[in-house]
Amino acid sequence: MVNGKEKLIVAIDTDNFEKAKEMIDKLEDSVDIFKVGLEQYVATRGKTLDYLKEKGKKVFLDLKFHDIPNTMKSAVKAAVRDNVWLMTIHVSDMEGMRQCAEIAKEEAERLNIEKPLIVGVTVLTSLSNEDLEDIGCSMTAEELVIKRAKLAQKAGIDGVVCSAREVDKIVEICGDDFVTVCPGIRPATAEVGDQKRVVTPSDAIRRGAKYIVVGRPITQAENPKEAAESIVREIENA
C-alpha cells in the first residue's frame, strides 16, 4: 500500500509566523512534508523554514526562481545550504536549468548532504487556456505543460510541477522516475477557490502524481489534523 504521508505536501500559506507555527504544531503528527511559499518566506524572513527543520520535517521551498542563469544558479546554491528537501524553479532556458541542476549536485556533495530535488514550474494551475491566449501563447495548457516537461527533463532537473490533469501524459512521456508535484488538489467537498485546473487527491494519485500539494482544504478546515488524515486515507485508498 502507498504511504499517504509520503505523498502529501501541506502548503503553509500565511504571512504570519505565529499562525504558521500553530498550524505546523497541529499537523506535526499527521504531516511530514510542508511547503513554504513566496508569501510565507518573505513575510517571515525564512523563520518558518527554520522552525520546520527544528521539527524534523521535510521542506518544500516553493519560491519559483526565474531569472538569468547565473542568478538562478546562485539562488539554488543558497537553497541547498538551507538543506531543503525540494525546491522550485520556472522551466526557462535550457542553460539556466542545466546550471541549477549542476550546482545543486556540486553544493550537496561539498556539504555532504542529500541533494534536494529541483522541479520546474510548467504552467501555473491558476491559468486557463484563455489566460494563455491572452498573453500570446497559441498552445493549450496541456500542450505547453508537456513541451516544458520534456525540456526540463532534457536539462537534467528532477521533475516538474504540473496539474494532475496532465500528469498521466507526463509520466507516459518522461517515465516513472521523473518527479511530478501536483498543486490545485481539492477534495470533492472543498471549494475550488482561485484554481482553475483542479483534481481530487485520489484522482491525482491514480493518474501518477508522485506528490500532491494541499493548502486551504487542510489549513482552513475546522479541524486541520482530521482533514489531513482524511486526505492521507484517500491517497492510500486510491
For residue 10, the surrounding DSSP H or E stretch is strand 8-11
Reading the block at residue 118, the C-alpha cell is: 529541483
Catalytic residue among 47, 64, 150, 169: 64
Return d(Cα 57, Cα 193) in angstroms, integer.
Answer: 28
Q: What pLDDT is recorded for position 186?
A: 84
pLDDT tens per residue, the chain (238 residues)?
778 899 999 999 888 999 999 999 999 999 999 999 999 999 999 999 999 999 999 999 999 999 999 999 999 999 999 999 999 999 989 999 999 999 999 999 999 999 999 999 998 878 889 999 999 999 998 999 999 999 999 999 999 999 888 899 999 999 999 999 999 888 865 554 544 546 899 999 999 999 999 999 999 999 999 999 999 999 998 7
Q: Is the distance from CB of 159 to CB of 181 less than 8 angstroms? A: yes
Classify 15 as helix, strand or coil. Answer: coil
Reading the block at residue 22, the C-alpha cell is: 500553530
Return d(Cα 46, Cα 38) in angstroms, integer.
Answer: 10
Active site residue 58: no
